[in-house]
Amino acid sequence: MNTATEVTAAPRRRLLLIEPSALFRRTVVLVARELDLADIDEASSHDVAREALAQQPYDGLLLDLGDGLEGMQVLQQLRHGQTRSPGGTPVAVMAAACDAATVALLREQGVQRILLKPFKVRTLLEVVATLSVATP
Amino acid sequence: MSPVPSATAAVPDQEDDRLRALHALLILDTPPEARFDRIVAFAAQEFDVPIALISLIDHDRQWFKARVGLAVCETGRDVSFCAHAILQDAPMVIDDALADPRFAANPLVLGEPRIRFYAGAPLETPEGHRLGTLCLIDHQPRQLDATGLAILRALRDLAQAELLGPPAEAA
């Protein structure tokens, strides 16, 4: 029997997770899928992320900032409409360190959340849930 | 009714086949490997538990392929929590071992490592043989919510893939 929920259910959000740690990445993807939070594509590097962003639109990014702020370039490409995703796509940034100047820069770029490493999978899943319901 | 002193786990169906599958992996008594050590270290940190193990249930012992927070590399199967955990598909969660008649008198509860909380997710072959577990242990009672269970299962899946398949991408 079809229920109203089945008929009207919105398609699940598709997010892109850019994170070098395979163990962390895989765990987040598996749990988000099991808990029906989002479909998450993985990128192990910013180069891989750029390829993914050129291939299809995403509803949100979970972006590792990188040691040399390589993630900032990806973020700026997104904001400047140089990907297939809307420029205002929600972004959460993950960083090993983040000084005041970087925080200001990330704010200017409209980043929704900054997560300082190390943090737990559970914490990122909470962010995934938030990004998954955000409306670009 | 008098309390059960310490219940030893039943032997799984097809135990001979299960042991054959375990021994065929040629993993028992091998040195530590980073790909498994990473997983238990990650699990211990994620769940804030002092002990995390990849335990394999041999004929009369449980042997730890990877361990955090435990000095010994094996214990007897007769006192093993994981020997109970491999009897079911779903993770076995014991909120408080002292409140569970199967484990209240277990020497691993009354003595070192003083297990109070246990959560073990079975490591299973494609043929359905549960060879051991990825497990979490705490010295305090605690509970695991749905998200915690999902994270444990995900880490179990990754440990299982490492155990049964070729080495995967480094973390």
In the CATH scheme, what is the code of domain A12-133?
3.40.50.2300
Distance between CA atoms of B113 and B115, rounded to whole angstroms? 6
Return the domain boundaries, chain B. Answer: 33-164
- Contact criterion met (CB < 8 Å) for A120 and B171: no
Return the domain boundaries, chain A. Answer: 12-133
Residue A44, pLDDT above cutoff 50: yes
Segments of chain B scoring below 70 in pLDDT: 1-6, 167-171
**Where are any strands of DSSP class E within B44-88?**
51-57, 61-68, 74-76
Question: How much is the average pLDDT of A37-50?
Answer: 96
Contacts of B147 in chain A (CB under 8 A): 31, 35, 122, 125
Question: Which amino acid appears at position A48 of this protein?
Answer: V
Contacts of B171 in chain A (CB under 8 A): 21-24
B17 sits in which H/E element? helix B15-24
pLDDT of residue A71: 96
In the predicted model, what is the mean pLDDT of chain B? Answer: 94
Residue A130: which pLDDT band, with cuts at 50, 70 and 90?
Answer: confident
Write the residue in A24, A26, A125 that is nearest to B147 by C-beta. Answer: A125
- Contact criterion met (CB < 8 Å) for B38 and A30: no
Residue A134, pLDDT above cutoff 60: no
Contacts of B156 in chain A (CB under 8 A): none
A64 sits in which H/E element? strand A60-64
Distance between CA atoms of B122 and B120, rounded to whole angstroms? 6
Predicted model pTM: 0.90
- Contact criterion met (CB < 8 Å) for A24 and B171: yes
pLDDT of residue A1: 38
Residue A61, pLDDT above cutoff 90: yes
Contacts of B42 in chain A (CB under 8 A): 23-24, 27
The torsion of the CA quartet B68, B34, A32, A73, rounded to 10 degrees, works out to 120
pLDDT of residue A6: 43
pLDDT of residue B7: 82
In the CATH scheme, what is the code of domain B33-164?
3.30.450.40
Question: How much is the average pLDDT of A28-51?
Answer: 96
Write the residue in A21, A35, A121 that is nearest to B171 by C-beta. Answer: A21
Chain A residues interacting with chain B (CB cutoff of 8 angstroms): 21-24, 26-27, 30-31, 34-35, 44, 118, 120-122, 125
pLDDT of residue A125: 96
